[in-house]
Amino acid sequence: MKALIVHGWGADSSSNWFPWLKTELEKSGIETFCPDLPNTQNPVKEDWIETLRAQAEFKGDIILIGHSLGCPAILRLLESFEKGENARAAILVSGFAHDIGIPQIREFTKDGFDFAKIRSACDEFSVINSDNDPLVPLEEGGFLAKALGTELIVEHGAGHINAGDGHLEYRRVLEIMRKIKP
């Protein structure tokens, strides 16, 4: 089993709970990638997808974990899968699928998503959003969960589930990872 952690806008591999999660997963024997995506302040969707595709082969033994803008990036990655490519699971934290009012990241959600293709490219999904996220409305999590055929996990009072809201560790992702069968 492998894991690919995808950070969000303005972040990098050393941000938030990503280093902690990478360490925890590696302790469990899960090879974990957490790349620094290019031009994080003014991201280009195609550059991010190209960087993510270069991290690993997508042959059904990989779990994708995204935070914030990392979630629509994962959706775009799954849309790009060709025949024979698949992900075991995707865990989307503080994710969204619509324009949330930040001009620098609009291109990631522009023109909507092919959710049928996304669902066929990944075996299972987990969607987690907070009820007081200042950037991503809870309704976005609800939309994502419905579109992906899963239930929304609501964190109460967790903000954007990032370091700014006190999340240098995020055990919920580990709990979900432990339930995923190889």
Active site residues: 68, 133, 160
Q: What is the pLDDT of residue 144?
A: 98
Both tokens of 182, joined, read 């190889």
Q: What's the whole-number average pLDDT of the chain?
A: 96
Cα of first residue to Cα of last residue in the chain, in angstroms, is 7
55 close to 146: Cβ distance less than 8 angstroms: no
Q: State yes or no: pLDDT of 182 exceeds 80.
A: no
pTM above 0.75, yes or no: yes
Q: Tens digit of pLDDT for each residue in 127-175?
A: 999 999 999 999 999 999 999 999 999 999 999 999 999 999 999 999 9
Q: What is the pLDDT of residue 60?
A: 84
Q: Tens digit of pLDDT for each residue in 79-107?
A: 999 999 999 999 999 999 999 999 999 99
User: Could you say which of 3.30.70.260, 3.40.50.300, 3.20.20.70, 3.40.50.1820 is the CATH number of the domain covering 2-179?
Assistant: 3.40.50.1820
